[in-house]
Structure 1
Amino acid sequence: MEVTSKYRRYKKGDLSPTNTTVHVCNACRNICSSHHQSGETKAPCRGCCCFLCNICNSALEHGKSRENCLVGSVKKIGSKLFKLDNSNKNGNFLGWSSSPSPSIAFPSSFPRRYNKRAVLCGVSYSTRKFRLKGTINDTNNMRELLIKNFKFPNQCIRVLTEQEQNVDLIPTKHNILESLRWLVKDCEAGDSLVFYFSGHGLQQPDFKEDEIDGFDETLCPVDFIKEGMISDNEINSTIVWPLKKGVTLHAIVDACHSGTILDLLHVYNYQSGIWEDNKPPSRDPIRKHTSGGLAICLSACEDNQMAADSAVFGGKGMNGVLTYLFTKTIREYPRGITYRGLLAKMHEEIKKINRNRSFSYRILHRKIIAQDPLLSSSERFDVSTTIFTL
């Protein structure tokens, strides 16, 4: 049995912190990271000529100034960062080009209109040291649940994994964002939309002052080292803003630091049983609401926690803890379960797993599941009486 943090590479043995440090370019204020021994690193940034910003989150938005660009050292993000390697110096992954492809080869409309649509992303990072082994199982599990339990048409589910033959369905940053635009395009009242992600998640400093804890949450596409991460602000503007009245979006995110990954205004405190405000502290108005629709997010853990892949559940291979417990609970309650009941079952299962492990095993291996599934929403609702449905 092994539990592997999605914030660490999958390999039994060395799980010590890396020497990867996050930096801010003084000229354009964008974020990048690099390996270094000590002290500050100086380099020009990408719009200012810097190789470091190849892994910056907003490389395409860099300033044009090429003068006086220094990259100053900033505090390390979270408790650990990925070990990066140079095994693919041209920035490609498994032979795919990281440059934007033409429009994705997937129907934007159908002979008849369906009111259910889903995007499922499972990122394994298979050529990297921080690869994950449970994400394909997670994605297959979610797809089966949507079809069998929630009657999603197969042709209305777009799956992005590294196993796809169509290069437009590889989970690159470009392809994921294109798929998210497809998900909400021309949405109408009565539509049920689902975004699912299994992979790595990170945090980065928030310079827009729209985060209570001072950090933006991010998702890592397969090419994030070259093209950058997908921030919670990007996700919010892409799939939350367009939601019209009568449209419901559910996001299920099995990644580290994913608590407020959709930047929704209300976070449910499971312990106290109340909704808490997640309003940005910035004085300038920052849009975080829908256009009348409802957005709900179920995250693997809180913003300051790390999610896990685990083999503790038995069966074949690894599974994300959130995905496994979520799908298991839904199948056990075919007549429906409330949002509160769903959270309660997942919390109980995690405590049960940790209790059943011997004290000596926990001391020697330090492999307990330390994550609290979190619910957030664009609107408050009664979680004790509202039945979970997609």
Structure 2
Amino acid sequence: MARGTSLHIGLNRVDPNEYDGWDGKLIACENDARDMEQLARMAGIQDRTTLITADATVDNVTRELRMAARALSSGDLFLFSYSGHGGQIPDFTGPEDEPDRLDETMCLYDREYIDDELYQELGEFSEGVRIVCLLDCCHSGTGIKAVRDVLTPEALEEQFQTADPSEVETTSRIMPLDKQYEVYERDKVRYDAIQQHLKEGKDNRDLGATALLISACQDNQLAADGLRNGLFTGTLLQVWNGGDFTGDYRAFYREILRRMPANQSPNLLVTGRADSRFIRQQPFTV
């Protein structure tokens, strides 16, 4: 019998000591994580972990990912959800996997978690494991590759009712651009060392598991926060409807997309081992 494991991360703030005085205050990310854990429970996933704000550190996230990778085997399901700020840092190692020379990050409590770090951990899952990633943060279109294309004032006005960057930052899940630069400059040695270590460790193996990503927006878009849930997570929960949704993953994605505004368009990406049977399943089927 297949086994299901899930990890849900939600941060309403980060450690200002690690982010050059910025605390990244948000409203709905902790609710997102708890509601996604509830979804996992209702879907029959028995092994569930939720990391909220101060517990959502790099060490804790990495430990949980590695525990899941060791526990799961072919045919099992791993559900990963993240709600929080998204950022970017320069990819000094070269343009081979990031043509724009920028790596996407998730803003965990104690530092930014580079997209290549997540991809490396997913590479440790056994061949045939089904991985579902749900990312509710800015610039999350591909999850492991990002394009820095700042929205125009007109697009910001349409999505957030203001083009003032400071006001956009309070209603979206983007790490402010000035803080992205300042934090990287302050901790440049740290982040460059992480990237160098990741580059040296690459062995060009294909991902043995199948990873399916549904993200909150395209690479060049921002993800809106909310009072109860983020716009993406709230819409996803409405479509899933307590498990009453009966279509497959592609239909699930298309229905979420249909309900979202054009200036925040979720993305679907499948990578790793080809598994069309997985894609045709009802979402979150263990």
Q: TM-score, normalised by structure 2?
A: 0.69
Alignment partner of 1:211 is 2:98 = yes
Q: Which has the higher helix share?
A: 2
- Tell me by how many angstroms 1:332 deviates: 6.7
- Tell me by how many angstroms 1:212 deviates: 3.4
Q: How does 1:342-353 map to 2 (within 5 A)?
A: 342-351=252-261
Q: 1:162 aligns to what?
A: 53
Residues 1:138 and 1:205: Cα distance change in structure 2 (over 3 Å): same
- Tell me by how many angstroms 1:207 deviates: 2.5
The C-alpha deviation readout for 1:251-294, integer Å capped at 9, x for no partner, is 11101111222459xxxxxxxxxxxxxxxxx9xx863731x221
**SS of corresponding position for 1:185:** helix
Residues 1:248 and 1:114: Cα distance change in structure 2 (over 3 Å): closer
Q: State the alpha-carbon separation in 1 of the partners of residues 128 and 85 from structure 2.
A: 32
Q: 2:41 aligns to what?
A: 147
Q: 2:235 aligns to what?
A: 325
Q: 1:255 aligns to what?
A: 137
CA contact (8 A) 1:347 1:373 kept: yes
Q: How does 1:73-88 map to 2 (within 5 A)?
A: none
Q: 1:195 aligns to what?
A: 80
Q: Which amino acid aligns with 1:328?
A: Q
Q: 2:191 aligns to what?
A: none
CA contact (8 A) 2:70 2:125 kept: no
Q: 1:307 aligns to what?
A: 223
**SS of corresponding position for 2:260:** helix
Q: Greater RCO between the two (CA within 8 Å, min separation 6)?
A: 2
The C-alpha deviation readout for 1:235-257, integer Å capped at 9, x for no partner, is 01112x12222211111110111
The C-alpha deviation readout for 1:121-163, integer Å capped at 9, x for no partner, is 1111177553011012111211111111x1111xx11110037
Q: 1:86 aligns to what?
A: none
- Tell me by how many angstroms 1:204 deviates: 1.7
State the percentage of identical aligned residues. 27
Q: How does 1:1-390 map to 2 (within 5 A)?
A: 115-125=3-13, 129-148=23-42, 150-153=43-46, 156-162=47-53, 170-208=55-93, 209=95, 210-224=97-111, 229-239=112-122, 241-262=123-144, 287=204, 289-290=206-207, 292-310=208-226, 317-331=227-241, 334=244, 336-351=246-261, 370-379=263-272, 386-390=280-284
CA contact (8 A) 2:66 2:124 kept: no
- Tell me by how many angstroms 1:223 deviates: 1.9
Residues 1:295 and 1:329: Cα distance change in structure 2 (over 3 Å): same
C-alpha RMSD of the superposition: 2.8
Q: Which amino acid aligns with 1:325?
A: T
Residues 1:193 and 1:382: Cα distance change in structure 2 (over 3 Å): closer
In structure 1, list runs of 5 or more residues that go unmatched: 1-112, 164-169, 265-281, 311-316, 352-368
CA contact (8 A) 1:263 1:288 kept: no
**SS of corresponding position for 2:116:** helix
Q: State the alpha-carbon separation in 1 of the partners of residues 10 and 222 from structure 2.
A: 17
Q: Which amino acid aligns with 1:251?
A: C
**SS of corresponding position for 2:225:** strand
Q: Compare CA radii of gyration and give the structure with the larger one.
A: 1
In structure 2, list runs of 5 or more residues that go unmatched: 16-21, 147-198
**SS of corresponding position for 2:217:** coil
CA contact (8 A) 2:239 2:252 kept: yes
Residues 1:306 and 1:287: Cα distance change in structure 2 (over 3 Å): farther
Q: Which amino acid aligns with 2:204?
A: R
Q: State the alpha-carbon separation in 2 of the partners of residues 178 and 332 from structure 1.
A: 30
- Tell me by how many angstroms 1:344 deviates: 2.1
Q: State the alpha-carbon separation in 2 of the partners of residues 217 and 246 from structure 1.
A: 26
The total of aligned residue pairs comes to: 220
CA contact (8 A) 2:77 2:129 kept: yes
Q: State the alpha-carbon separation in 2 of the partners of residues 162 and 232 from structure 1.
A: 19
CA contact (8 A) 1:201 1:220 kept: yes
